[in-house]
Amino acid sequence: MSYQLDFIETMVRAGVLKFGNFVTKSGRQSPYFINTGEFKTGAQIGKLGEFYAACIADKIEKGELAKDIDVIFGPAYKGIPLAVSTAIALARDYGINAGYCFNRKETKDHGEGGNLVGAKLKDGDKVIVIDDVITAGTAIREAIPIITGTANVEIAGLVISVDRMERGQGAVSAVEEVRRDLGIKVFPIVTVQDILSELDGREIDGALILTAECKASLIQYMAKYC
């Protein structure tokens, strides 16, 4: 079983991936919803880190990411457990002992001060940013000045859980806008097309997750927005 299929099934079992009628942050009526915040037990967040690590290792093997990654960065707040669990999985499963750090929402003005917690960024570091789902790219756009304002680092890539493949502010997808505007490679664990392909006709724990009605709604939605 590929890690992508395993990830999709894990999202379904954890209630992270749901089908129905939802309003997204962009105001669109969506037939599916993804909330990685539903990974809320130790076992679940540990497994989630393994999926991010598997994606990173896969891209390294394919030559799309350099192996000498120094720091895994998670934007506050959802990105914090993602960065920590990914760093643990990378060290344990792939021998990549990267540091991790995350930002505070408010700069600390006492003690050591600053607005970053964890590994100290230094000039020349290669940084991978970990996030959940890109809707408008707000979190990554806010994070980049924080990271690059601390040290002269290289943002090696952005790894996200799911690429919804939806248009952003213009004609291209939000992910493509991040690539274009920020010059950052974006690597999703899976795309919405992967979800459609893998769940089509597949039962999980004896239940058909993507019914004919849900499939039709998803295809219609993708034709309109993707």
Q: Which two tokens stand for residue 208?
A: 């058909």
Contact 18, 36 (CB under 8 A): no
The answer to whether 110 is a known catalytic residue is: yes
Task: Provide the 3-class DSSP secondary structure of residue 216.
Answer: helix
- At 20, list the tokens: 């129905």
| Calpha distance 7→161 (Å, rounded) | 9
Residue with tokens 């890690």: 3
Q: Which two tokens stand for residue 207?
A: 């239940």
For helices 212-225 and 192-199, give the axis angle rounded to 10 degrees.
160
Backbone angles phi, psi at 141, to 5 degrees: -65, -35
- Taken in order 67, 68, 70, 75, the sign of the CA dihedral is negative
Of 153, 63, 142, 158, the C-alpha closest to 104 is 142
Choose the catalytic residue: 40, 108, 120, 122. 108
Catalytic residue among 25, 62, 105, 110: 110
Is there a catalytic annotation at residue 108? yes
DSSP-based three-state secondary structure for 180: helix
Spatial separation of the C-alpha atoms in residues 81 and 40, rounded to whole Å: 10
Catalytic sites, residue numbers: 108, 110
